[in-house]
Every structure is written in structure tokens, then in C-alpha cells.
């Protein structure tokens, strides 16, 4: 009787542990973190099968374009280092603005030459094409299934906000180094060149 009870407990414990492991593995596959465009491209390039992300950053000024005769809207999200083109079909939230933060959920997808030629034909010489040229030159784009702008206009996840602040500091340091190099090479002249 005692042995039978021990086997029952062991079997019950094993079943519960197996169920918990299966649930946690499934949950991990569904888990989506806030990441920046730079992080998204690095993760996508290292493992293209894991392409679902919740991307956060700033909407690049003058990058929003409504595709003629299509429900598709394109815009560029930046973390000040990397720009990525976002394609979204649907209506944007009221708080969506250029120059403000946004979070989009979706998938990174590769751009083939057929898509690139079609877009260039549709957009023509639009000024939007020039502004987002850096993002369009990437070999991929972000297909958003949801655009999140649910709080006030200054909402940004902490992870994304800290990454953007870090990138601002890196850009400032790079500019100051370039300025020092340019000023250092100008040793005998009274005027200096601004970076």
C-alpha cells in the first residue's frame, strides 16, 4: 500500500512537472519583448526564423506615406542609429505622430527585387522615398500587425527609452571626436571647422 501511494505521488508529480515545462516552452515562443530597430536587425540576421518583435522607437520626421489606392501606410522607425521601414495596413491610432515614440508589433521580412521595383514605381519621386532611403536600402522591412500608441504622446517603454538615450550619447561622443580630429589637424590656423 505504501509503495503504491509513492508511485502515485511520483507519477502525479512527473505529470505536473511535464505540463509546466510544456506551458513554459510555449509561453517563451509567444513572448515578445520591446526592442530597438538595431537590436531587431541583429536578432533577425542571426536567426531569421525568429522574426516576431515588438519594435519601439521614434517615427522619423516626414517619413509617413500613404500608398496610393491601397490601405497600406509606410513609415520609418529609428533608434537614431538604425532606421527600419515599417509597413502597416489599417488606421493609425490618434496619438501617432511623426517625431514621437511608437511601438509596433509584427515581423521582420526580407525585401526582394520585385517588391522594391513595385514600391519605386508606386512612390515615384516622392519626397518620402528620399527621406527613408536609408531604411529602404536595408534588405528587410518590418510588417506591423499592430501599432501601439495607447498612453500619452510621450509614452515609450523603458527599454526603448534607455536605448535611445544611449544612442544619443554615442552620437554626441562621435561628433565630439570628429570635431577634435578636425580641430587637431588644423593646428596653425585661427579658424576652426565645426562638425
The pLDDT tens digits of the residues spanning 103-123 come to 898 888 887 777 667 666 666
3-state DSSP call for residue 36? coil
Task: Report whether pLDDT(153) > 50.
Answer: no
Instruction: Locate the domains of the chain by residue range.
Output: 1-31, 32-173
What superfamily does domain 32-173 belong to in CATH?
Answer: Nucleic acid-binding proteins (2.40.50.140)
pTM of the model: 0.63
Task: Report whether pLDDT(182) > 70.
Answer: no
CA 156 to chain centre: 13
- CA-CA distance, 142 to 86, in Å (whole number)? 5
Place of cell 542609429: 81
pLDDT > 70: percent of the chain = 70
Check: CB of residue 34 under 8 Å from CB of residue 160: yes
- CA-CA distance, 156 to 166, in Å (whole number)? 15
The pLDDT tens digits of the residues spanning 13-33 come to 999 999 998 888 777 655 656
Dihedral Cα 22, 24, 27, 33, nearest 10 deg: -150
Amino acid at each position: 500500500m505504501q509503495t503504491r501511494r509513492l508511485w502515485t505521488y511520483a507519477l502525479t508529480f512527473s505529470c505536473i512537472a511535464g505540463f509546466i515545462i510544456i506551458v513554459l516552452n510555449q509561453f517563451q515562443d509567444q513572448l515578445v519583448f520591446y526592442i530597438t530597430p538595431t537590436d531587431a536587425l541583429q536578432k533577425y540576421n542571426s536567426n531569421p526564423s525568429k522574426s516576431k518583435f515588438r519594435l519601439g522607437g521614434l517615427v522619423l520626421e516626414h517619413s509617413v506615406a500613404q500608398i496610393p489606392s491601397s490601405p497600406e501606410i509606410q513609415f520609418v522607425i529609428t533608434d537614431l542609429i538604425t532606421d527600419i521601414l515599417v509597413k502597416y495596413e489599417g488606421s493609425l491610432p490618434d496619438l501617432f505622430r511623426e517625431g514621437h515614440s511608437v511601438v509596433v508589433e509584427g515581423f521582420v521580412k526580407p525585401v526582394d527585387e520585385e517588391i522594391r521595383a513595385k514600391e519605386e514605381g508606386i512612390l515615384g519621386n516622392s519626397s518620402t522615398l528620399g527621406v527613408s532611403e536609408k531604411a529602404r536600402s536595408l534588405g528587410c522591412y518590418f510588417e506591423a500587425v499592430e501599432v501601439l500608441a495607447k498612453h500619452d504622446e510621450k509614452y515609450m517603454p523603458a527599454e526603448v527609452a534607455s536605448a535611445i538615450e544611449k544612442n544619443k550619447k554615442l552620437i554626441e561622443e562621435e561628433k565630439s571626436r570628429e570635431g577634435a580630429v578636425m580641430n587637431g589637424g588644423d593646428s596653425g590656423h585661427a579658424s576652426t571647422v565645426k562638425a
